[in-house]
Amino acid sequence: MINKKSHRIVEKMTNHEVVAVMADGKPSVIVFLSDFIEKDLDGLKYVKYLDDLEIYGWEIHNLYNHTCYRNLGRFKTTIDMLRSGRIPKETIHKNLSQSATATFTI
């Protein structure tokens, strides 16, 4: 049996709905994702990448604030690196689920 990846973002969702399903009710993530989608031409694309990686809520907070030090360029570069598959998904989630996230090393 093939397991299909479950995505939270589905066709015809508004940007507000995308933010709601990705933020998991975390206020800081709601604000960040709303601004990111609104102000960055690639914002929605990168939010969809987070969905592909199954990174939601608190993990988005940790990735942006602690791993990428609130640097949007670094955030996008880090997502691209995570998407490359060079870091196992388990390692990604283990690092991002910690309250004080360390940077990823390859």
Whether 86 is in a domain gets the answer yes
pTM: 0.86
Whether 106 is in a domain gets the answer no
Whether 9 is in a domain gets the answer no
Whether 101 is in a domain gets the answer no
Q: What is the pLDDT of residues 39-82, one digit of tens each?
A: 999 999 999 999 999 999 999 999 999 889 999 999 999 999 99
| Total domains in the fold of the chain | 1
- 80 Cβ partners below 8 Å, 6+ apart? none
The residue type at 56: Y
Range of the domain at 48: 15-96
Whether 20 is in a domain gets the answer yes
Whether 6 is in a domain gets the answer no
Q: What is the pLDDT of residues 7-31, one digit of tens each?
A: 999 999 999 999 999 999 999 999 9
- 14 Cβ partners below 8 Å, 6+ apart? none
